[in-house]
Amino acid sequence: MADTQTNQMNENRYSGFAIPLQPDTELGLAMLIAEDEEGHHEPVAVASTINEAKEIAQSDLRSRMRRLDHGADPGICPYTYKLWARGIDGDYRIALELDADSV
């Protein structure tokens, strides 16, 4: 019973993760997803840390802008990037959300 209470306290305290997430916390196979304002989404890449996800999001946005400048289809216009990682209960949760205009 004490283990269940401890897990619930950690889940609430750390937004569903076992530990507080830092920029270089190893997340395993976290998924970076681009999402537009209408809720359409595209997978971008797998990232192992928050820092890596930020770098990938920056690169992805630059690549989309470059394709747009050259008249090619850039895919969706990202409004936000979300990094999904496996939480303490085994479900995927949002570990990071980045607005595309701040990337």
Task: Give the model's pLDDT for residue 14.
Answer: 86
Cα separation of 8 and 28, whole Å?
22
Cα separation of 32 and 11, whole Å?
22
Tell me the H-state helices in 1-103.
Answer: 2-13, 50-69
DSSP 8-class letter at 13: H
Q: What is the pLDDT of residues 52-81, one digit of tens each?
A: 999 999 999 999 999 999 999 999 999 999
Q: How many residues does the chain have?
A: 103
pTM confidence score: 0.85
Q: How would you label 47-66 residue by residue, b for 16+ Cβ within 10 Å and e otherwise?
A: bebbebbbebbeebbeebee
**Under 8 Å between Cβ of 63 and 22:** no
Q: Is the pLDDT of residue 97 over 70?
A: yes
Q: What is the pLDDT of residues 10-39, one digit of tens each?
A: 445 788 999 999 999 999 999 999 999 999
Task: Give the model's pLDDT for residue 76.
Answer: 96
Task: Give the model's pLDDT for residue 26.
Answer: 97
